[in-house]
Amino acid sequence: MRFSNTSNMLRLSIGLAVLPLAAALVGRSATNTSNSHCSRTCMSNIVTQILDSMVAHDPYAVPMAPTYKATENSHPAAIGMMTSWRTIAKAGPPSLLAIDTTNGTAYFALDVSEGNDATEAVLRGRIKVVHQKISELELFINRYRGDHGFSFSAAELPTNYEALMSPPANRTKASRATLEALSESLFATSSNFSVTVGDNCQFTELGWKVVDPGTNGTGSTTPLDCTWPSDHPTDTNARVGLVIDEELGFVVTSGTIQGTVYPYGNISAFIPNAMTSAQEAQEVWIKEMEALGTIPLLSPTGATGDTLEVLQYYNGELQSMQINVYLSGPDMTSPWL
């Protein structure tokens, strides 16, 4: 996701929004007692079953609950009608796997191959398990940069996420309450939770360590650092605490962000509408390029970013930030609300 022709504006891509804390706690307490029969190993095995069934093109091998909710790229469908079970020909173990045994949820991400095409895609998913059956399945498959809005690398994803799955053994783990507060602050209009960013915090978008090449190709080639800005997109209906992995420090939160896809050099970038200064800067650049008439430019077009953002937090600091977005038409909302 790129937010302007400057590094600082791009870093503002982390959005923050929060559901009322009381409602969030009610939602958590309602699920705590129903998922005690699925350990981390149990949850990992269910994710493996999903991936194996995709490669086998057999959606009916997945242990689904008698009634379940499921979406693929933000649209609802029975798993037997989903594209992933028809096209994915190769899928290894997840490169990133976050497991929440308290809520019976998990998040996974990996590179996959479809059909005979050697070009790889990024598959992301969230599940909720009740009595060892999947009651919720949320999938996204990003095939190239346009699905996301700017950056993408299925090839680099495994290497970049490997370090996240093996944090230091002597780390200080965050409490569940701290991780919940982090999730609740992510898309918030205001929050009292203070975030310290670690010196080696990894900032990725769809598997890629983010580098801002600049609209004119004169930007840096050095990966950008994580930041926790005060100016950011918000979502008062954000889904907080979807997955809270107390062992590895992962937090998964979802926000739905309205924005505009702008030309960015000879490609394009998604800029949230809340970030008016970034959009204004891009409008200035567009006028300059239109006057030159040297390259074709995409007309600015409204879009919605459906996100599953992943943070990692331990030693009292933010250690990694993943901005995972799937773009759809303007003024859309999440089917999970």
Span 270-292, pLDDT tens digits: 999 988 998 999 999 999 999 99
pTM summary value: 0.88
Residue 22 is predicted with a pLDDT of: 35
* pLDDT-based confidence at residue 36 (cuts at 50, 70, 90): low
Give yes or no for residue 312 having a pLDDT over 80.
yes
DSSP result, 135-168: EEEEEEEE-SHHHHTS---TTTHHHHHHTTTS--
Domain for residue 334, yes or no?
no
Span 179-228, pLDDT tens digits: 999 999 999 998 999 999 999 999 999 999 988 777 776 677 788 899 99
DSSP conformational letter for 80: G
CATH code (residue 83): 3.10.450.50
Domain for residue 235, yes or no?
yes
Domain for residue 1, yes or no?
no
Residue 318 is predicted with a pLDDT of: 98
Domain for residue 337, yes or no?
no
Residue 201 is predicted with a pLDDT of: 97
Span 223-271, pLDDT tens digits: 889 999 877 889 999 999 999 999 999 999 999 999 999 998 888 999 9
Domain for residue 225, yes or no?
yes
Residue that has been written with the tokens 């801002």 in this structure: 212
Domain for residue 36, yes or no?
yes
245-277 b/e with 16+ CB inside 10 Å = b?
Answer: bbebbbbbbbbbbbbbbbbbbeebbbbbebbee
Domain for residue 336, yes or no?
no
Contact 140, 84 (CB under 8 A): no
Query: Domain of 157?
Result: 7-328
Total domain count, the chain: 1
DSSP conformational letter for 187: B
